Structure 1
Amino acid sequence: MAGFDRYQNILRLFLDQGSLWTVADMSDALQTSASNVYRTVRELVAAGFLESAADSQYRLGPIFLEFEHRLRETDPLVRSGRTFLMPLVEQAGIPCCVVLARLYGDKVMCVADARSARFGEQTSYERGRPMPIMRGATSKAVLAGLSPRRRDKLLLKLSGKGELVTDTFRAELESIRKAGIVTALGEVDAGLAGIAVPMNFKALAVHASLSFVVKQSDLTEDTGRRLDTILRSQANVIENFIDPQ
């Protein structure tokens, strides 16, 4: 491991594979010497990114909580979620979860959410959790909102990772772009439906989506039309809030 990679590779173990690691386990996972891992771990501990735990193990350090607090206070997209999402829940008229998500590499990440007290269902779109970009209304809306050139580049990357990118899927994205909204039934969580609109924050250079997640049994034709109208209107409000003309 060299340069920044030696720090990133170790920290990603805590994101992807487990919350507690010994130096020996890290060495095996990364296929590098324990002495190299130990030096890097020591530096990460000194900086607060890792801290010692019981039985010669390490866990993520408290500095990440400091970063999260700073992000909540300063990131315009996260702040807009605190301002606008709960009123959306109240307007929905049915139990729901509202998700504000953004492009994150070749995935989609929820940056803010809100839910009604009567919506007890577990949703996969949780704040800070990367999600696949080719499945579900929340993700498809983000992908459809990209420029054709950027979308094609991302789809080529996904295809290289083994994702099945068909002409039918490309046509679906183009239809979503033209319609400005997408509904998906049970594509991510069984029994749940997503309704989402693309969002483009030029000032942030961020592509995002705003979506309702509801029970499929609650999604009638009339309800769908109402949620469609609410989403389009509120997405425009949030875009103007972040990208004032």
Structure 2
Amino acid sequence: MSSLSKMLGVLDLFGPQRLKVDPDTIADHMGLSRATVYRYVKDLCAAGLLTRVDAGSYGLGPRIIELDWMMRQYDPILLAGRELMHGLSEDTGLAVFASVFYDGRIINTYIAEPSDTYRFAFGRGQPLPFFRGAQSKVLIAYQKGRRLQRLFEEQLAQDPSSPYDWESFNKAAKKIRKDGYCITHDELNLGLTGIAAPIISPDLDEVIGSLAAVGTSDNFKLLRQETVTEMVIETAQRIATNIHAPSDSRQA
């Protein structure tokens, strides 16, 4: 591993349960000398990737926010689907999520909400639990072949709290692929229902994201669940089509 890779590895120490780190934590987790740690921290701060947050501790720096803004300007799913997501949210009164799976993590990249009244346990950018919640289940279920089994072995097989063995997990994944969508209740937020569908790349024939509509039980009492499911699937398909269409021909 190069020195650059090791230095950037410091960023991997951050997570929902560790929002700031100190040099001792970096040294202990990465097996580095204090001199090396201080050199890495100095360089990361100079690049804006870290910033001092209190005496002896560091948090993620303002460059992360800048990179996030730039990413949202060219993210294919957002460019192709932002207006469609807001349209779906306005038509249903539900919150609409775009989510992706990368490097073993599932995150929401964008949320279109009809209001700010929702309180989500997992908002934009916060990693979602593995195979829990409609977005997560769709993204995992559409992984292919041995990758699906490897994900099970790495994420669920050793988890004593998991309700799945390989047979039940594989069966659940197959059902999602057969149905073309997933519906969950109370899995991420008590009192909320989520309906998610995959965004499939026509060129690659693989899942590149998921689209989900989320609302309360009261929301769904006013809507036909079957109708919302159809709307979510159709919107996900339109986003996938838009991704591969010329920008001037995209239909909002």
TM norm. shorter chain > 0.5: yes
C-alpha contact 1:203 1:242 (8 A) present in aligned 2 = no
One-letter code of the match for 1:116? P
**Separation in structure 1 between the aligned mates of residue 221 and residue 98 of structure 2, nearest angstrom:** 23
**Separation in structure 2 between the aligned mates of residue 143 and residue 49 of structure 1, nearest angstrom:** 30
One-letter code of the match for 1:244? A
Partner of 1:108: 106
State the shift of 1:212 in Å: 0.8
Partner of 1:37: 37
User: Which deviates further from its counterpart, 157-166 or 106-115?
Assistant: 157-166
Deviations 1:196-234 (A, max 9, x none): 112222558653211111112432496201101211211
Partner of 1:211: 212
Partner of 1:132: 129
Deviations 1:108-129 (A, max 9, x none): 1111111112x62312342211
Partner of 1:26: 26
User: Which deviates further from its counterpart, 72-81 or 198-207?
Assistant: 198-207
TM-score of the aligned structures, taking structure 2 as reference length? 0.84
C-alpha contact 1:81 1:113 (8 A) present in aligned 2 = no
Partner of 2:170: 170
Deviations 1:155-190 (A, max 9, x none): 232245535443122111111111111111111111
**Separation in structure 2 between the aligned mates of residue 127 and residue 206 of structure 1, nearest angstrom:** 20
Match 1:120 to one of 113, 117, 120: 117
Q: Structure 1's 48 and 203: CA in aligned 2 closer, same or farther, altered over 3 A?
A: farther
**Separation in structure 1 between the aligned mates of residue 20 and residue 222 of structure 2, nearest angstrom:** 48
Gaps of 5+ in 2: 247-252
Structural RMSD (CA): 2.6
TM-score of the aligned structures, taking structure 1 as reference length? 0.86
Partner of 1:152: 149
One-letter code of the match for 1:129? Q
Q: Structure 1's 206 and 169: CA in aligned 2 closer, same or farther, altered over 3 A?
A: closer
Gaps of 5+ in 1: none
User: Which deviates further from its counterpart, 52-61 or 130-139?
Assistant: 52-61
Deviations 1:77-131 (A, max 9, x none): 1323422211001111xx42111111122231111111112x6231234221111
Q: Structure 1's 227 and 29: CA in aligned 2 closer, same or farther, altered over 3 A?
A: same
User: Which deviates further from its counterpart, 226-235 or 122-131?
Assistant: 122-131
**Separation in structure 2 between the aligned mates of residue 58 and residue 158 of structure 1, nearest angstrom:** 29
Q: Structure 1's 125 and 81: CA in aligned 2 closer, same or farther, altered over 3 A?
A: farther
C-alpha contact 2:16 2:126 (8 A) present in aligned 1 = no
SS at match of 2:123: coil
| Aligned-residue identity in percent | 26
SS at match of 1:233: helix
1:96 aligns with 2:94: yes
Partner of 1:243: 244
One-letter code of the match for 1:243? H
Q: Structure 1's 58 and 81: CA in aligned 2 closer, same or farther, altered over 3 A?
A: same
**Separation in structure 1 between the aligned mates of residue 151 and residue 28 of structure 2, nearest angstrom:** 32
Partner of 1:82: 82
One-letter code of the match for 1:96? L
1:230 aligns with 2:228: no
User: Which deviates further from its counterpart, 18-27 or 167-176?
Assistant: 18-27
Deviations 1:25-79 (A, max 9, x none): 4334545432221111112122221233442433322211221121011111132
Over 6 Å off, 4+ runs: none
